[in-house]
């Protein structure tokens, strides 16, 4: 891929990330407005388990570190190390997603579904959208593994991996805001 095409690819990816950022900003705004509208249902204090969410957060932040190492090793042509850290990232991301689905299932079983109140609807929308992005990123990572197995590491592959790393870090940043605004501030109200 020539430099001009590569620059366009990175620019287009950043434009996509900014549109995603706007979408998340809207979801955060909706949550901020609706978080007190429980309609007599459970509040954040009633349903959130902070130690559980903290473990979830540590898992996702650790995966951000491992994907960073994978990109670094890939750029330095240390292929085995890069693949090892990508596998760890995949496992950590899948663990995070599993914990999130377990949390959602538990809330729904206790009658705290997205239909119960505006607060829960905005909560499931925001956190669920993040979870869908994690799912898409994990699928992207699996596709990268397939691509790697057929074509190996090339300069183009390192660029693709770099874009994946940027996306993964973006999702981690969004999660930090979710953890702070939804969970920490939610429990303090």
pLDDT above 80: residue 177: yes
**Residue reference for tokens 């979870």:** 131
Range of the domain at 77: 3-34+49-188
Q: Which residue has the tokens 């009658």?
A: 111
Write out the two tokens for 89. 């990232």
Q: Is the pLDDT of residue 78 over 70?
A: yes
The Cα-based distances of 123 to 44, 84, 115, 117, 179 in angstroms read 10, 35, 11, 10, 12
What's the pLDDT at 186?
83
In a domain, 120, yes or no: yes
Residue 189's pLDDT band (cuts 50, 70, 90): low
% of residues, the chain, pLDDT over 90: 76
Tens-digit pLDDT profile for residues 82-141 = 999 999 999 999 999 999 999 999 999 999 988 899 999 999 999 999 999 999 999 999
The whole-number pLDDT of residue 1 equals 53
Q: What is the mean pLDDT of residues 54-79?
A: 96
Number of domains the chain is built from: 1
The answer to whether the beta carbons of residues 28 and 177 sit under 8 Å apart is: yes
Q: What is the pLDDT of residue 180?
A: 95
- CA–CA distance, 60 with 176 (Å, rounded to integer): 10
CATH number at residue 13: 1.20.120.80
Q: How many CB atoms lie within 10 A of CB 127?
A: 19
Q: Is residue 10 one of the residues assigned to a domain?
A: yes
Across 31-43, average pLDDT: 89
Asked, for residue 44, whether it belongs to a domain, the answer is no
Q: How many CB atoms lie within 10 A of CB 155?
A: 10
Amino acid 94: pLDDT: 98
- pLDDT attached to residue 58: 98
Q: How far apart are CA 146 and CA 123, in angstroms?
A: 35
The verdict on residue 154 lying in a domain is: yes
Separation between Cα atoms, residue 179 and residue 58, nearest integer Å: 11
Yes or no: say if 113 and 158 are a contact pair by the CB < 8 Å rule: no
Residue 41 has pLDDT above 70, yes or no: yes
pLDDT at position 2: 64
């Amino acid at each position: 891929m020539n430099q001009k095409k590569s620059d366009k690819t990175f620019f287009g990816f950043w434009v996509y990330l900014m549109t995603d950022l706007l979408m998340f900003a809207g979801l955060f705004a909706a949550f901020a407005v609706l978080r007190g509208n429980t309609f007599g249902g459970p509040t954040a204090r009633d349903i959130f388990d902070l130690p559980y969410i903290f473990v979830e957060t540590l898992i996702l932040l650790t995966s951000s570190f491992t994907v960073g190492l994978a990109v670094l090793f890939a750029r330095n042509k240390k292929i085995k190390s890069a693949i090892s850290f990508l596998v760890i990232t995949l496992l950590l991301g899948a663990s995070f997603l599993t914990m999130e689905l377990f949390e959602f299932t538990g809330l729904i079983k206790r009658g705290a579904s997205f239909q119960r109140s505006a607060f829960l609807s905005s909560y499931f929308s925001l956190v669920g959208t993040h979870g869908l992005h994690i799912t898409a990123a994990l699928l992207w990572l699996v596709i990268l593994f397939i691509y790697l197995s057929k074509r190996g590491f090339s300069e183009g592959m390192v660029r693709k991996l770099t874009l994946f790393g940027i996306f993964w870090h973006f999702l981690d940043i969004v999660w930090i805001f979710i953890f702070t605004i939804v969970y920490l501030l939610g429990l303090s109200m």
